[in-house]
Copies of this chain bind each other. A is one copy, B any other.
């Protein structure tokens, strides 16, 4: 079967490099266009990039000539475009690609709060893709060309937070109070310069700009629904789901650890064993659809007293699985537990790949 053509915007950056790694030998997509700033355009990718991954730069990508981030040239033929652009340029560039009819899957924050843009954690709320499915289906039905659209990848720390909550909400109803204290890895901040070494050596920075607000807001959109027409998203109201986040940067390369506690709206709350079982038995839609990157086990519920740990557990299911441990009753809310997710896989580029796989499985791209 012919591979779908994929483009990558911001290809020389940290997120772009991850997209390129994840698309190497992908069974459904192949890189067709790489976009970066005008400084890099015209160069072979290997000469434009400062490659900083633990895997070598894939052979296939070395000599692709980098283009500017415009919906023309090789990008004109792309079936899907992954965006690893920085927020300061992502808004305009992604809008141009959408206008040109492209399916854009973006790691940037710019459109996450747009009412008609799905904000997706692919192992959590792929059903939110229905809003773009409908757009595409309506256009087809009207004999028009498929419209462009953006799907946003959630913030990395939001992804880890909502993953284990989804099966709980499905099984036991809404959560009305949620607290999360994060211990976040430095890889998400990129590397030019990213987090300064002196800030994380024998140290913690108890602040990440904008992060707490993102977690508190995005969680309510991802766990929320749509309007009656299915055209816009309606986040859960603040007073139905109170979310409080405290974010810290720590000396970990990959893998966000989050200490969370939560209370169910419906009381009495389920038992500890019911909570664990719901997470353990959860199979995400991507897995049911047979998407190649879908985790075999979506949520790993660990019973060892001192797990999950980032160095030991972040690579479960190639970073698409989420690990949960120390699930126990909480004296203040109902339950507390530790969640670990791979911030650059399920929390960033990897999520983009899995979203594309779902869209393909649903014939949207």
List residues of chain A with CB under 8 Å of any chain B CB. Answer: 52-56, 177-179, 181, 183, 186-187, 191-207, 209, 216, 238, 242-244, 246, 248, 250-253, 257, 259, 261, 305-312, 315-316, 325-326, 330-333, 336, 338
Contact = CB atoms under 8 A, between A and B. Distances in A.
A253 B202 contact: yes
Given A52-B198, A202-B252, 8 more contacts: A186-B197, A191-B198, A193-B194, A198-B253, A201-B253, A207-B305, A238-B331, A244-B261
Contacts of A312: 52-54, 203
Contacts of A200: 197, 201
A29 to B, nearest CB: 25
Nearest to A260: B246
Contacts of A305: 207, 209
A268 B163 CA distance: 35
B257 A310 contact: no
A147 to B, nearest CB: 37
B53 A257 contact: no
A54 B315 contact: yes
A310 B203 contact: yes
13 contacts: A53-B312, A55-B315, A178-B332, A198-B253, A204-B257, A207-B306, A209-B305, A242-B332, A244-B330, A244-B332, A246-B259, A246-B326, A251-B251
Copy number in the complex reads 4
Given A195-B198, A197-B186, A257-B248, A203 B309 contact: yes
Contacts of A53: 312
Top 5 A-B pairs, shortest CB-CB distance: A193-B193, A181-B181, A207-B306, A203-B311, A246-B259
A191 B201 contact: no
B259 A181 contact: yes
A204 B183 contact: yes
B195 A336 contact: no
A39 B132 CA distance: 48
A311 B253 contact: yes
Nearest to A246: B259
A202 B257 contact: no
B183 A248 contact: yes
Given A201-B186, A332-B177, A206 B325 contact: yes
Nearest to A325: B206
Contacts of A243: 331-332
Given A54-B311, A191-B196, A248-B259, A202 B201 contact: yes
A305 B210 CA distance: 11
Contact of A204 (B202, B246, B250): B250
A243 B332 CA distance: 7
Contacts of A201: 186, 197, 200, 202, 251-253, 311
Contacts of A195: 196-198
Contact of A252 (B56, B204, B252, B315): B204
B252 A203 contact: yes
A58 B235 CA distance: 43
Contacts of A178: 332
A68 to B, nearest CB: 27
Contacts of A55: 315
A202 B310 contact: yes
